[in-house]
Amino acid sequence: MFSGEQFTGFDTDQTMVRISAMNLLLHAIDHPDIRNQDSLSRLNTIRDKFDLILANPPFTGSVDVEDIDDSLKAVVETKQTELLFVALFLRMLKLGGRCVCIVPNGVLFHSNSKAYRQLRAELVDNQRLEAIIYMPSGVFKPYSGVSTAILVFTKTDAGGTDKVWLYNMEGDGYTLDDKRDSDEKHNDIPDILERWGNLDTEEQRARTDKSFLVPKSEIVENDYDFSFNKYAETKYERIEYPPTEEILADLDDLNRKMTESLAELHKMLGGAQND
């Protein structure tokens, strides 16, 4: 049986806090640490505590700069919540702790603010970035159509990134419209789990496949851009077209046949009117 100390969570919505606590109690977790609190505020003083963090933080928004803890500013100088939450997860993890979190795609490639690059460099250079799983737009419909990705990293504070596993998910087993009906024909999740458990076999994967490994040096060379298209190769199929003269000759023949057909039609209509 799990102990209450194994589960901690925060939410600014008191109703969600109650639902979460009740759900855990129904699963025999008697004393979960579920708090009605802003995770990014100075009230959250948790440091170096957790072995594992699973999170789907708010995708957009900003907070009062004065209320941001200095420890988060040390990682990334910003008031964008999608960046601050990743910095928070690093702070709350123990050394060797792992985080799996969802971020909007903008975190992966935005270059209009140095804070985005700063965070990506932190994950690659100072921590151990292990995987990026790109999810299609629509997985959070009908609530949001934003494209997202899953970051998997381990806190080391001493680097350790070697090769990063990239997977381009095309479907999650449901349609990507507002209805989100079951669609098992387009479900990459079983393949993701199988390949994640056998990363050694990914060494041989081509850059035209859904997943492959990218060395840290290549990510650094691309200025810490995490975009999938930066590293994937597109396979082009060569199509041979007939010579221009042959195409023009076919068009001339088609026009001739149309002219003859129209003339025949006029002749038929003229004969019908005479009758």
Q: What is the pLDDT of residues 140-151, one digit of tens each?
A: 998 888 899 999
DSSP code of 62?
A: B
- Reduce the DSSP state of residue 220 to 3 states and report it: helix
DSSP code of 7?
A: -
Q: Is residue 8 situated within a structural domain?
A: no
Q: How many domains does the chain have?
A: 2
Q: Is residue 67 situated within a structural domain?
A: yes
Q: Which residues contact 68 (CB under 8 A, 6 or more apart)?
A: 40, 42, 79, 84
Is the predicted pLDDT of residue 1 greater than 50, yes or no? no
Whether the CA torsion 70, 72, 76, 81 is positive or negative: it is negative
Q: How many angstroms separate the CA atoms of 158 and 156, rounded? A: 5
Are both 140 and 250 inside the same structural domain?
A: no
Work out the average pLDDT over 54-82. Answer: 83
Is the predicted pLDDT of residue 65 greater than 90, yes or no? no
Share of the chain above pLDDT 90, in %: 60
Mean pLDDT, the chain, integer: 90
Are both 98 and 214 inside the same structural domain?
A: yes
Position 68 confidence tier, pLDDT thresholds 50, 70, 90: confident
Written as six digits, the tokens of 131 are 């995987």
Q: Is residue 13 situated within a structural domain?
A: no
Are both 210 and 244 inside the same structural domain?
A: no
Q: Is residue 223 situated within a structural domain?
A: yes
Is the predicted pLDDT of residue 122 greater than 60, yes or no? yes
Q: Which domain range does residue 52 map to?
A: 38-230
